[in-house]
Structure formats: C-alpha cells, structure tokens
Amino acid sequence: MSGRLISLMTLLLVMSALSLINSQYQARRLFIELERAQARAKQLEIEWAQLQLDQSSLAKHARIEASARRELNMVAVSPERTQYLVMGAN
C-alpha cells in the first residue's frame, strides 16, 4: 500500500510541476504579447501626433489661400467686381 501511495504522490508531484511549467510559459507569452501591444500603442501615438501636426499646418489660412490662388486661379474680391442686388429693382 505504501508503494501505491508513493506512486500517487509522485504522479501528483509531476502533474503539479507540469502545471507550474505551463503557467510560467503562458505568463511569459502573455507578457511578451503585452510588451508588443504597448510598443504598437506608442508607435500609433507618435503617428497620431504627426498627423495632427500635418493637419494643423495644412489648415493654415495662408496655405489655403496660396493653394487657391495657385491651383484654382482664384483672386480676392475687389469692390469694382462686386455686384449688389437690391430688392424691388427691375
């Protein structure tokens, strides 16, 4: 009976050791995955900041006006080119 108890205890010890090894492996794997996700999040934050900077520089009034003049051949409104509409006039 003592041999059977020793075998049972040995089996339990081996199963416990294998369970410990498996849980340590899973913890390491999850930690590596977490580090990768954090690095990706940091990279995305950097890209977001760059995109916000680009957007602010592209939305400046002077740049938009220069682009309208250059690409669309637009000019500023002058008083001699302005037409006024009066109600009741024929």
With beta carbons less than 8 A apart as the criterion, state whether 30 and 36 touch.
Answer: no
Mean pLDDT (whole number) for 6-25: 96
**Average pLDDT of the chain, as a whole number:** 90
How far apart CA 53 and CA 55 sit, in angstroms, is 5
Distance separating alpha carbons of residues 20 and 18, to the nearest angstrom: 5
Residue boundaries of the structural domains of the chain: 2-75
Contact by Cβ (8 Å): 63, 57: yes
Eight-state DSSP code of residue 88 = T
Task: Indicate if the pLDDT at residue 27 is higher than 90.
Answer: yes
- Which pLDDT does position 15 carry in this prediction? 97
pLDDT at 77: 82
Q: What is the mean pLDDT of residues 48-68?
A: 87
Q: What is the mean pLDDT of residues 31-44?
A: 98
Interval 22-38 mean pLDDT: 98
